[in-house]
Amino acid sequence: MKWFLYNLIFSIVYILMMPKFLLRMFRRGGYANRFMDRFGFYPPDIMAQLCDNTARIWIHAVSVGEVSVAGQLMDEMRRQRPETAFVLSVTSSTGWSQAHRILRSSDILIHNPLDYPSCVRRALNTIRPRAYIITETELWPNIIRQTNQRGCPIFLINARISDRSAPGYRRLKCWFGPVLNCLQKIYAQSILDAQRLMDAGCSANRICVTGSMKFDVAHRNLKKEIELRNYLTQAGFTPEAPILLGGSTWPGEDAFLLHIYQKALTRVPNLRLIIAPRHFEKANEVETAIRTAGFPCLRKTKNATPTPYPENTVLLADTTGELMGFYGLAQTVFVGKSLCEHGAQNMIEPCLCGCAVVVGPHTENFRPVMRDLLAFQAIEQGRDFAETEQLLLDLLISPKQRQELGQRAKKAVAHRRGITPKIAAEILQITNRN
């Protein structure tokens, strides 16, 4: 009865949200790509691949961060067992774009089916997975229950339960408990995440606390760093000029960085600012904020081959796939979604590059990562606007302090790497037995 009720509620909610999906398609364009995947219907070329009798492992990832974790696991599983083939499903258009960069020709990319019985059944009948792997916490009851009924092992990797989600999981443990106990193994990021999974009804013997797999995901992109260094030099950003970079910023954080830039220029006149907004559809608003603050704006999507700009020009990095390259060139980094929004973006990447990294008070999405980095004194965290501002200003005027913090950050990331090979080996061993 409860699953009938779930399916009824799911159908009603999806119909009510359809206008939002249609609007997203209109705004983002790529979101409408392969829309029928969501109902378990695939184009002929994909069907031909899926019907070639190759036993594939199905991995599901929501968006960019999860796709990166999935990609790292796929690479490791293939290193240990070269013949392994995959189906990767994603939810977002940004996840789709990221997936195209990491997949091999033998892999198949699809949109995740709607969690409705008939859609799930069609997808499973077509994919026929050897194993089903979920990244972080994307728990769709029908997919998990139907996959389990077919005797296919299910794994949850890099699992976390957010502060916002935890009370809901706990209250609805009569729903989530049976779903979680369909999983063969859950690899949790922290003891807190493991406890929250148990509070939601999961058996303790299914959970293993591993730490965050995202420490293994980050890799410097030296080729991109060289390419961007040449770009910056053409634009008048000299190699000697220190760079303050706002990575994956959210609305409100751009104005915060511009305010700091104005203050810091009086002490560090050759300082340069780069802002890389999280959502590129907001780039027009960021450009307006830059010009309103009195700075020239160099927008990368509109200036592929720039000529020299004035010394106080702010670079608006509104491109895809270049943030890691910019991290490799920056000295001081503020990581977005940590000051004006809750959750934070990935702070491991700039730490890997040896940047002096500052975040605001809201880093709930990276709690295990922050715990490790703070234990190494490898990152600075402000408790509010004023403290975050002061931390950044102190770093900007002190090259020695920047360098020492960056070196500790680099060492901290190196210390926490190495989880993925162990998880890959265990999943392959369990999958082989089934």
Which tokens hold the place of 75? Answer: 């690479």
Interval 397-431: pLDDT, tens: 999 999 999 999 999 999 999 999 999 999 999 99
Q: How is 292-344 classified by DSSP, letter by letter?
A: HTT--EEEGGG-SSPPP--TTPEEE---SS-HHHHHTT-SEEEESSSSSSSS-
CB 410 within 8 A of CB 351: yes
Interval 265-293: pLDDT, tens: 999 999 999 999 998 888 999 999 999 99
* Range 221-239 average pLDDT: 96
Q: What is the pLDDT of residue 3?
A: 74
pTM, full prediction: 0.85
* Range 14-38 average pLDDT: 70
Structural element, H or E, at residue 84: none
- Angstrom distance (rounded) from CA 345 to CA 246: 11
Q: 56: closest CA among 40, 78, 76, 30?
A: 78
% residues pLDDT > 70 (the chain):
96
- Angstrom distance (rounded) from CA 277 to CA 239: 23
Average pLDDT of the chain, as a whole number: 93
Q: 328: closest CA among 423, 216, 422, 231?
A: 231
Q: 364: closest CA among 380, 378, 345, 386?
A: 345
Handedness of CA 161, 167, 170, 175 (dihedral sign): negative
Structural element, H or E, at residue 158: strand 154-159
Q: 374: closest CA among 342, 417, 405?
A: 405
Count CB atoms within 10 A of the CB of residue 73: 27
Q: What is the pLDDT of residue 11?
A: 72
pLDDT band for position 12 (50/70/90)? confident
Q: What is the pLDDT of residue 16?
A: 73
Q: Is the pLDDT of residue 30 over 60?
A: no
% residues pLDDT > 90 (the chain):
79
pLDDT band for position 83 (50/70/90)? very high
If one compares 139 and 315, the residue with the highest pLDDT of the two is: 315
- Which residues is 315 bridged to in the sheet? 274, 298
Q: Is the pLDDT of residue 117 over 80?
A: yes
- Dmax (CA) for the chain in angstroms is 68
pLDDT band for position 102 (50/70/90)? confident
- Angstrom distance (rounded) from CA 253 to CA 275: 10
Q: What is the pLDDT of residue 293?
A: 97
Q: What is the pLDDT of residue 32?
A: 62
- Which residues is 57 bridged to in the sheet? 86, 131
If one compares 392 and 21, the residue with the highest pLDDT of the two is: 392
Q: Is the pLDDT of residue 208 over 70?
A: yes
Q: What is the pLDDT of residue 57?
A: 97
Interval 165-187: pLDDT, tens: 999 999 989 889 999 999 999 99
Of 5-9, 75-79, 191-195, 380-384, the poorest mean pLDDT is in: 5-9
Which tokens hold the place of 412? Answer: 């901290």
